[in-house]
Amino acid sequence: MNIQTDAGPRGPSATASKSDLDSIVVRFAGDSGDGVQLLGSQFSQETALAGNSLATFPDYPAEIRAPTGTTYGVSAFQINFGSRPIKTAGDQPDVLVALNPAALIVNYKNLRKGGLVILDSGAFKEKDMKRAGFAVDPRLDGTLKEFRLLEIDISAQALEVAKPFGVSQKEALRTKNIWTLGLVSWMYDRELVSTTEYITRKFGGDDPVGMANIAALKAGHAYGETHELSGDVAPVSMPSVKSEPGTYRLVSGAESLAWGLAAGAQLASLEMVLASYPITPSSPILHILARLKQFGITTFQAEDEIAACCAAIGASYGGKLGVTASSGPGIALKIEAIGLAISTELPLVIVDTQRGGPSTGLPTKTEQSDLFIAVWGRNGDAPIPVIASRSPGDCFEVAIEAVRLATKYMTPVMLLSDGYIANAAEPWLIPSMADFKPFPVTFRTDPEGFHPFLRDPHTLARVWAKPGTPGLMHRIGGIEKDYNSGNISYDPSNHQKMTDTRTAKISNIANDIPEQDVALGETKGKLAVVGWGSTFGPINRAVANMREKGLDVSHIHIRHIWPLPRNLGQLLKSYEKVLVAEMNNGQMLTLLKSQYLVDAKGLLKVSGQPLKIEEVSSAIRSQLGAA
Amino acid sequence: MNVTVPPAKLTAKDFASDQEVRWCPGCGDYAILKAMHKSLADMGASPENTVFVSGIGCSSRFPYYMATYGFHTIHGRAPAVATGLKLARPELDVWVVTGDGDALSIGGNHLFHALRRNVDLNILLFNNEIYGLTKGQYSPTSRVGQRSPSTPMGSVDSPAEACTYALGCGARFIARGIDVQAKELDVLFKRAREHKGASFVEIIQNCIVYNDATFAAFTEKDVAADMQLHVKHGQPMLYGKERNKGLRLNPQTLSLDAVVIGQNGVTEKDILVHDEKNRVLAGMLAALRPPSFPEVLGVIYCNPAAESYEAAVAAQEKQAKAKGPGDLDKLMRGGNIWTVS
């Protein structure tokens, strides 16, 4: 069988039995009120506990509850799991679970040929099909002829099971996601324990709705068993993946980022104030940290994005770690305040969970188009460090690094995540705090020779003197200050000197970050595919696949976007060609060209959807003139 | 009893920074600054525990002239920066200095929320009804008809009333003073500082360059007594050279009448007694305007809440910490985990 891609060709011609498969992509889709995200995340949890590697992709609309049965109200959750390391949520689903006709029409075209469609036939009434846009019943007119079809009246099954618990018709019908989870759990030999516990925790042990859901879960599982579903739908046991020893959990990007901020503050011996304004897809960071008060974390839901950034700056001025988290439109609003933190040289971590732009753009879809605003988007010459995380689990370390740079160099730091990373989950080897080297902050207390812009001769960071310290009373602000006293100064040569100093301070950070490594392949050769952020998975898998085919291609993935690693220019010049793959219109591409004058080409995608392995593979083949 | 040497009492001079003050000669801000230096010394404030936070504008240069901690931030955002500071360091004595443009135009939203949340800040709004630092454009408190570079034919905007706005925002301490009335300002500064929660003080301030004498109708010496009502809690609201003028409630119209004792059968018993805890009365007093009424000065409203915002936040944090300090290793290992050996 062919294992060249995560979603390799396993069509009807693939003769291997299903038990030989080393990865499967399942996509759950339904109405936004159907509980598809819950179904997906619980299945992911069960799959992780079974020891498979996995990656998930929650793909949901911006509307909370769009009108029932409409295509724009379809919510989907894709999971790729396997017995080998999984790096993406999969290019093409092998299995599509469609809980209504709209979910089918939106998703069936991307299913691999020969894939399995599981339908809730109870939701396929004529008006439902019309509403979704099927002129005729797609089950009868050959629309689905390239796929295998399993029809079950899931609605009726769920109603039947839930009724005895005395729940309303509506509540009974709402158990259909859990019934479906039971069925799929049977298909892939999953334990139901974690979901049973979840339901009990959520509803309490004797709540009728909770009992109805547990019954639905068991009934879905039993349906698979007793109906002797066979052939293609027979249960598959996916062997567990060989992983590094240790304790694992499933983690989303928002979780590991929030925990990483908490860890960073702890390593810096600081308490933290997170000031944020609700915005998709950044809000989970605020929600998670709001529950961590016992860690010395204060959360503040500000009146707007500007106030959030300003309050974080106020907290840093007071001697705590100020953090603000947002997404594109919110970041745009914070820019002036970020300039204040640059000018007053206060530490600040700004988290940007990027989404489709410009303006409101695609709030729930992913993109990497805030690189320019992060690196260059301010008035004045105003450099700050910018770093990006490449996967949900990676957010933890990147957040610690952001805190380290902010406190060591007294500067705002922009941390770029994105909607895909924030919502996606992956198995994560849980780190141990003892493995991280603390970087405690020292506050200035000595009045001897003090002024607020005294600098460390090596890092050029200014002293951090917090209010309440006797003898260090001083004034700071956004007006240019004198290099030697910190007082207001409009002197021309002083402004030149201060601008140069602020620039040098940030440029010097290049000496305090690792040299750029090669994620996969050689340090020279015909082609380097350069990526940053959440495109790590598809680029890495595509490069691996193409290397197996004998192509001379390597993968470079950039974490430190500003300043760039000191060896990056040399490294890029050691390849004949450079291809930058990113989910924007060429922002990293432009940055690299401007910094190194490399003749790089771009693989650029702005559809709101993650890069696919095949898209990267195809670009590699084209760059190398391979068939 | 042991005799301890008390620390040398600080004087007004100890609160003045070494920076040269750069307001226009004759600007009302000088008087306010001087009053603040003296008040802080009198109150026994400690310079290291006092912070002045400001936005942008003439008034917002204030922190540079204080020998305390100071943060000159960005336009309109001082209340937001001060809120973050107060959340991080509730023990500090935090003052916000702002102007009519800074607080009521670009920063109207932040002022609203700082007052609504009741953050323990002392907010001083210097109201000169003009944009001074940008050379004289009309401001949100400028009156209709105000001619300025941006309103050559006169402003057609309806002006904002600072104290009325603050009351609507939910402020629980509202006072008004005049730049040159140092004795009265001293009282207001002390009361504002004592008040737990957001204190809002509007200071009528003359811009000698762009809006000179705009308040002359009640600040000029010859009219002051007849056009200023200095209210005191529990005392009848009397004013005038002969203290025979006063405010009377008109129950028919639910409004205040300016009356003269001895005229039309008005007696001293008819004069309303100021109750600074009465929000309805505060609303009526804040809105009175010369020439039909006197300008109301003093503590218009003071009705403290049980707890200020940052204190409530700290109380929740204390409650969370009572269950023991956070353990990240334990947190990350909570929920569904599995082990690979």
What are the Cα distances from residue A597, in Å, to A371, A378, A385, B129?
19, 24, 21, 55
Q: What pLDDT, on a 0 to 100 scale, did the predictor assign at position A235?
A: 75
Closest CA to A36 of A212, A159, A160, A154: A154
| Alpha carbon distance B232, B242 (integer Å) | 18
Give the residue from chain A lying closest to B115, CA to CA.
A303
| Alpha carbon distance A156, A540 (integer Å) | 44
**Closest approach of chain A CAs to the CA of B2, in angstroms?**
26
Q: What pLDDT, on a 0 to 100 scale, did the predictor assign at position A487?
A: 96
| Alpha carbon distance A389, A392 (integer Å) | 8
| Alpha carbon distance A73, A101 (integer Å) | 12
Chain A CB contacts of B312 below 8 Å: none
Is residue A322 a contact partner of residue A273, using CB atoms and an 8 Å limit?
yes
Flag whether pLDDT at B1 surpasses 60: no
**A307·B91 Cβ contact <8 A:** no
Strand B337-340 to B199-204 pairing: unpaired
Indicate the DSSP class of residue A88: S
pLDDT average, residue stretch B220-248: 97
User: Which tokens hold the place of B244?
Assistant: 């025979």
Q: What pLDDT, on a 0 to 100 scale, did the predictor assign at position A390?
A: 97
- H or E element at residue B98: strand B93-99
| Alpha carbon distance B247, B245 (integer Å) | 7
Per residue, what are the HEC states of A95-153? Answer: EEEECCHHHHHHHHHHCCCCCEEEEEHHHCCHHHHHHHCCCCCCCCCCCCCCCEEEEEC
What would the pLDDT profile of A280-295 be if each residue is shown by its tens digit? 999 999 999 999 999 9
Closest CA to B293 of B261, B257, B265: B257
The set of long-range contacts for A58-62, using a CB threshold of 8 Å and a minimum separation of 24, is A58/A423, A58/A424, A59/A365, A59/A609, A60/A32, A60/A36, A60/A364, A61/A32, A61/A364, A62/A280, A62/A362, A62/A363, A62/A364
Is residue A88 a contact partner of residue A56, using CB atoms and an 8 Å limit?
no
**Closest approach of chain B CAs to the CA of A188, in angstroms?**
19
Say which of A244, A292, A313 has its CB closest to residue B81. A313
| Alpha carbon distance A152, A162 (integer Å) | 17
Q: What pLDDT, on a 0 to 100 scale, did the predictor assign at position A8?
A: 36
Say which of A194, A244, A298 has its CB closest to residue B313. A298
**Closest approach of chain A CAs to the CA of B206, in angstroms?**
25
- Per-residue pLDDT band for B7 (boundaries 50, 70, 90) equals low
List CB contacts of A397: < 8 A, sequence separation 6 or more: A260, A389, A431
How large a percentage of chain B has pLDDT more than 70?
98
| Alpha carbon distance B79, B96 (integer Å) | 7
Report the length, in residues, of chain A.
627
Positions of chain A with pLDDT under 50:
1-19
Work out how many CB contacts closer than 8 A connect A with B. Answer: 196
**B84·A318 Cβ contact <8 A:** yes
Amino acid at A438: P
- H or E element at residue B80: helix B78-88
Say which of B48, B72, B86 has its CB closest to residue A473. B48
**B339·A319 Cβ contact <8 A:** no
Say which of B64, B317, B329 has its CB closest to residue A293. B317
Interface test with B, best of A248, A310, A336 (most B CBs within 10 A): A310
Closest CA to A281 of A213, A376, A351, A190: A351
Is residue A588 a contact partner of residue A371, using CB atoms and an 8 Å limit?
yes
Closest CA to A239 of A91, A53, A86: A53
Residue whose token pair is 């399942």:
A26
**A295·B326 Cβ contact <8 A:** yes
**Closest approach of chain A CAs to the CA of B3, in angstroms?**
24
Say which of A243, A245, A314 has its CB closest to residue B83. A314
**B338·A433 Cβ contact <8 A:** no
Strand A601-604 to A575-582 pairing: parallel
Q: What pLDDT, on a 0 to 100 scale, did the predictor assign at position A231?
A: 63
Q: What pLDDT, on a 0 to 100 scale, did the predictor assign at position A20?
A: 54
Chain B CB contacts of A467 below 8 Å: 48-49, 51, 69, 85, 89, 92
| Alpha carbon distance B305, B308 (integer Å) | 7
pLDDT average, residue stretch B170-196: 98
**A317·B67 Cβ contact <8 A:** no
List CB contacts of B216: < 8 A, sequence separation 6 or more: B223
Calculate helix-pair angle for A36-49, A193-203, nearest 10 degrees: 130
Closest CA to B202 of B92, B111, B124, B282: B124
Q: What pLDDT, on a 0 to 100 scale, did the predictor assign at position B8?
A: 77
| Alpha carbon distance B102, A109 (integer Å) | 56
Chain B CB contacts of A42 below 8 Å: none
Give the largest CA-CA distance in chain A: 87
Say which of B113, B338, B341 has its CB closest to residue A303. B113
pLDDT, chain B, mean: 96
| Alpha carbon distance B94, B123 (integer Å) | 9
Please, what is the Cα angle at B25 between B21 and B30, to 5 degrees?
55
Is residue B166 a contact partner of residue B300, using CB atoms and an 8 Å limit?
no
Question: Within 13 Å, how many C-alpha atoms sit on residue B73's CB side?
Answer: 37
3-class DSSP state for residue B189? helix
- H or E element at residue A616: helix A613-623
Q: What pLDDT, on a 0 to 100 scale, did the predictor assign at position B4?
A: 63
Q: What pLDDT, on a 0 to 100 scale, did the predictor assign at position A9?
A: 35
Give the residue from chain A lying closest to B90, CA to CA.
A318
Give the residue from chain A lying closest to B331, CA to CA.
A259
